[in-house]
Structure 1
Amino acid sequence: MMGKFSKGILFGAVVGAASGLLFAPRSGKATRQKFVDELDDWSDLKEDFTDKLDQFKESAAALQEAAEIYIDPFIEGLTQDVENFKFQAEPRLEQIQEQVEKIQSELPEMPETD
């Protein structure tokens, strides 16, 4: 989608520049100079865009490297913490369940109400 948009912008710029040249109230020399100046401006804009795109690619690569370095160890540490918690919690849950069963067995039967 971005490719179509960029092509549309470029096409519009070319058509606009050509229309400006055809309908410009200048002499041939002034028109040629304006055309050269416009081409220089577009060339500078293209270089700026290319530089910014390269910087973006470098930043994305650095972000991907950082993710590869930090995400896997983080997930492994988190998994280990969960396993440790489960290891510590399971005996306690069993003790609680035993106490609940003991209390329930010692309680007198309550009559059911309809």
Structure 2
Amino acid sequence: PKKDAKASAKQPQKTQKKKEGSGGGKAKKKKWSKGKVRDKLNNQVLFDQPTYEKLYKEVPQYKLITPAVVSERLKVRGSLARRALIELREKGPIKQVVQHHG
């Protein structure tokens, strides 16, 4: 019974020593990640007739209308989406609420 008591008393000391002396070791180097690979967006540069009709029919019903949203949903370039929103604003289906230049 005495030997068991000594063995159990020694174990906590070993764990304490490990905690104290672990600062001196060399840390493992982090590996470089490959990074995320995005799919190539093949967005249209000009409107074709079905997309142009969709612009006038669906875009005014969107809750939030921004060039990014229009570009993503209609699969058109951002610059084309910007011009399209200007055209919609001038012809009347949508109204500008906020102007923002980041």
Establish whether TM, by shorter chain, passes 0.5.
no
Relative to the length of structure 1, the TM-score reads 0.28
Structure (1 or 2) with the larger CA radius of gyration: 1
TM-score (norm 2): 0.30
Higher helix share: 1
Relative contact order higher in (CA < 8 Å, ≥ 6 apart): 2
